[in-house]
Amino acid sequence: MRTILIATSNQGKLRDFAAAALTHGVEISGLPRFSSLPTVVEDGLTFEANARKKAEEYSLYVPGEIVMADDSGLEIDALNGAPGVHSARFAAPDLHSKDPHQAVANTDDQANNARVLRELKGVPAAQRIGRFVCVLAVARDGKTLATFRGTAEGIILDAPRGTNGFGYDPLFYFPQIRKTFAELSSEEKSHYSHRGKAFREFLDWCKDGVRD
In a domain, 145, yes or no: yes
CB 136 within 8 A of CB 198: yes
Average of per-residue pLDDT across 149-153: 97
Q: Is the pLDDT of residue 133 over 70?
A: yes
In a domain, 212, yes or no: no
In a domain, 100, yes or no: yes
Instruction: Return the half-sphere exposure (C-beta side, CA atoms, 13 A cut-off) of residue 42.
Output: 24
CB 146 within 8 A of CB 211: yes
Give catalytic residues, as residue numbers.
71
Average of per-residue pLDDT across 53-64: 96
- So what's the pLDDT on residue 46? 96
pLDDT tens, 8-31?
888 888 887 887 777 777 788 889
Number of domains in the chain: 1
In a domain, 103, yes or no: yes
| Residues of the domain holding 35 | 2-206
- So what's the pLDDT on residue 100? 45
In a domain, 62, yes or no: yes
Q: What are phi and psi of 100, to 5 degrees?
A: -65, -25
For residue 59, what is the domain's CATH number?
3.90.950.10
pLDDT tens, 87-132?
998 988 755 554 444 555 688 899 999 999 999 999 999 999 999 9
In a domain, 37, yes or no: yes
50 vs 24: which has the higher pLDDT = 50
- pTM, two decimals, is 0.87
- So what's the pLDDT on residue 98? 42
- So what's the pLDDT on residue 208? 61
Q: What is the mean pLDDT of the chain?
A: 89
In a domain, 211, yes or no: no
